[in-house]
Amino acid sequence: MSEISVDPHVFVVFGGRGDLMARKLLPALYHLTAQGFLHERCVVLAVARTDGINDEDYRTWANDKLASAGIDHESLGGWCDRCLHYQSIGKESPEDFGVLKSRLEELESLYNLPGNRAFYLALPPKAFSSTIANLGDVSLGTSNGWTRIVVEKPFGRDLESAQKLNQQLHSCFAENQIYRIDHYLGKETVQNLLVFRFANSIFESLWNRDRIDNIQITVGEQIGVEGRAGYYEQAGAIRDMAQNHLAQLVALIAMEVPAAFEADAIRYEKAKVLRSIEVIRPEDVVLGQYGQGSYGDKQVSAYKEAEGVAANSRTETFVAMRLQVANWRWQGVPFYVRTGKRLPHRTTRIIITFRNPPVSLFHPHQSSRVHANRLIITLQPNEGFDLSFEVKSPGEPISVQTQSLDFRYEEAFAPLRDAYETLLLDIMTGDQTLFVSSDEVESSWRLFTPLFDERLQIYTYPAGTWGPEEADAVLNREGRRWRNL
Ligand SMILES: NC(=O)c1ccc[n+]([C@@H]2O[C@H](COP(=O)([O-])OP(=O)(O)OC[C@H]3O[C@@H](n4cnc5c(N)ncnc54)[C@H](OP(=O)(O)O)[C@@H]3O)[C@@H](O)[C@H]2O)c1
C-alpha cells in the first residue's frame, strides 16, 4: 500500500467521452487504483452532453477504450463497474447543472463521501468559460469538503483571453483550488530538474553568468499535424508548445532556489523568471512552416497539403527564439529555444554550454583544441544526463579529446510513470507544485502574445530538417550554432 493518502472524493470529468479521457485519464485512473493509491471511495463521474446513456453503457465504452490502451478486461477485475458513473448535461442549461449537482449529492450519500470534489475540464478550450460559469451558478465552487477545478491546456489564446479566463475562474474558485495543467510538468524528468539543481551543490555555484556561456532548449517533434488540423490551425507552435512547455523549461532552469519545496515557493520563483525575460526583439524570433521533405526514403507532404489546412495558412509549425532573462544571475547569457514539427527526430533536450577556459594551454596543436564543457539534459526519449569534459588522449604530442559521463533513467530505474498519473494523484492530494499559477500563465502570455504579428515572416523549411536556415542566423551572428543532437 502506498504512503500517499487520497481522501474519498468524486472525480468529475467533463468531456468524459472525449479523446483525452479515453487515451490518458481512464488508463491513469485505473493504474492509480491498481497501484493502491485510490480506494473504493474514490468515485469517477464522467460527464458529457450525450443523453440516453446510463452507467452500464458508459462502462462498456470505457472497457473498450481501456482495452485499446492495452488494459484487458481480466486485469481490470471489475474496476469499471466499481468506480465509473455517467451523467449527461444535455444542453448544458442551468437545470442540467442542477441535475448534475443532485447526482453528485446522490453519489456522495451512496458512498458516504465527505463532499470532496474535483472537476476536470477535459473539454475543448471554447467550452471552458461556459462550464466554469455553470458550475458557479449552481454553487458548485464550494462544498462541505474540498473542491478543486482542473483546466486543460491551452489556457487562453493570448494575454487578454488568459486574463479573462483567470478572472472568471477567480470569481468562482480561489487560486488554491485551481489546477492549470501542462502535462509536461508531470514528467519525471522535468520534475527531476528541480532535484538535479537543488540537491546537487556542485552545480549551483556554476549556475550563472560567470560560468555559463549559453543555454539551448529544443522541443522537437517528428510528427506533422496528423489529422489535428482543426486544432493546430488555431494554435500553431507558439500556442501549442512555446507558451507552455518551453516557457516552463526556461523557468525551471533559470529559477532561483525556492524558500521551500512547496508549491507556492516554487511557483513564485518560476513566475519571477518569466517576468524577468526581456521583450523579444523581432530579429530574435524566427517562425517557420514545414514544406515537403523526407525521412530517409520516405517522402512526406507539406503542412499546407494536410487535410483541413488552408492553402494560404500562416500557421507556424516552428519557432526559434533568443530569450534574455534580465536578472543578476543570467544577464548576458542567451537562452536559445526552439520547437517544431517535422524535425529530424522527437527530442526534448536542454544543453548548457559552460564557458571556455580563459586561456588555452594546449593551443599549438590543432588536435588539442579545447571544447567547452556541456551538460546535456535529455527529457525524452532516452531520458538522462550527459556531462562532457576534456581528457588527454594517450600518446604524444599532447592531444585533447571530449568524453562524457552519462546517466540514463531506464538503466537505473523501473519504467517511468505516465505524466497524467502523477498529475491526477497531485490533484487528488492537493499538491499544486506541478501546476501553473495565474501569475506564470499571464507572464508567459505577456512575453509571447506580441509574436502573433502578421508582419513576422513565416519561412518554409523542408520536413525532416531542423527548421529554416534563418533560425541558424540568430545564433551565428553571436558566433554560436545550434547543437543538433
Ligand atoms: N487528447 C489529448 O491527447 C490531449 C492532450 C493534451 C491536452 N489535451 C486537452 O484536453 C482537452 C480535451 O481534449 P480532447 O482531445 O479530449 O477533446 P475532444 O475529444 O475534442 O473533446 C472532449 C469532449 O468535449 C465535449 N465537447 C466538445 N465540444 C464541446 C462544447 N462546445 N461544449 C461542451 N462540450 C464539448 C465532447 O463531449 P460531448 O459532446 O459528449 O459532451 C467531447 O467528447 C482539450 O483542452 C485539449 O487541448 C488533450
- The CATH number assigned to the domain holding 224 equals 3.30.360.10
Do 264 and 400 fall into the same domain?
A: yes
Residue 246 to residues 335, 393, 444, 448, Cα–Cα distance (Å): 11, 38, 10, 11
In-domain check, residue 164: no
What's the pLDDT band for 367 if we cut at 50, 70, 90? low
Give the mean model confidence (pLDDT) for residues 227-253: 95
Do 102 and 209 fall into the same domain?
A: no
In-domain check, residue 160: no
Lowest mean pLDDT among 50-64, 178-192, 286-300: 178-192
Q: Is the pLDDT of residue 361 over 90?
A: no
Do 216 and 313 fall into the same domain?
A: yes
Do 226 and 133 fall into the same domain?
A: no
Average pLDDT of the chain to the nearest whole number: 94
Give the mean model confidence (pLDDT) for residues 409-423: 91
Residue 329, pLDDT score: 97
Taking the centre of ligand 1 as the mean of its atom positions, its distance from the CA of residue 110, in whole angstroms, is 29
Q: What letter would DSSP give residue 222?
A: S
478: Cβ below 6 Å to ligand 1? Answer: no
Domain boundary among the residues 96, 127, 152 is at 152
Residues ≥6 apart with Cβ < 8 Å to 178: 148, 149, 151, 169, 170, 435, 438
Range of the domain at 393: 185-420+435-476
Do 340 and 251 fall into the same domain?
A: yes
48: Cβ below 6 Å to ligand 1? Answer: yes
How far does CA 187 lie from the centroid of its chain? 8
Integer Cα distance of 251 and 275 in angstroms? 10
Do 24 and 97 fall into the same domain?
A: yes
Q: Is the distance from CB of 344 to CB of 203 less than 8 angstroms?
A: no
Do 104 and 226 fall into the same domain?
A: no
Give the mean model confidence (pLDDT) for residues 35-42: 91
127: Cβ below 6 Å to ligand 1? Answer: yes
Residue 364, pLDDT score: 61
What's the pLDDT band for 4 if we cut at 50, 70, 90? confident
Give the mean model confidence (pLDDT) for residues 361-376: 78
Taking the centre of ligand 1 as the mean of its atom positions, its distance from the CA of residue 345, in whole angstroms, is 28
In-domain check, residue 14: yes
Query: Each residue of 257-280: pLDDT tens digit?
Result: 999 999 999 999 999 999 999 999
- Residue having the nearest C-alpha atom to atom 43 of ligand 1: 18
Do 332 and 231 fall into the same domain?
A: yes
Residue 5, pLDDT score: 86
Angle at 158 between CA 20 and CA 310, to 5 degrees: 70
Do 108 and 215 fall into the same domain?
A: no
What's the pLDDT band for 363 if we cut at 50, 70, 90? low
98: Cβ below 6 Å to ligand 1? Answer: no
Residue 157 C-beta-side C-alpha neighbours within 13 Å: 12
In-domain check, residue 326: yes
Domain boundary among the residues 152, 175, 202 is at 152
In-domain check, residue 384: yes
In-domain check, residue 224: yes
Number of domains composing the chain:
2
In-domain check, residue 29: yes
Do 90 and 214 fall into the same domain?
A: no
Residue reference for cell 499571464: 442
pTM of the model: 0.94
Do 250 and 330 fall into the same domain?
A: yes
Domain boundary among the residues 101, 127, 152 is at 152
Residue 188, pLDDT score: 87
Residues of the chain with pLDDT > 70: what percent? 98
Do 100 and 216 fall into the same domain?
A: no
To test the ligand 1 pocket, which listed residue (123, 129, 234) has its Cβ within 8 A of the most ligand atoms?
123
CATH code assigned at 104: 3.40.50.720
- According to DSSP, the β-strands at 147-151 and 285-291 are unpaired
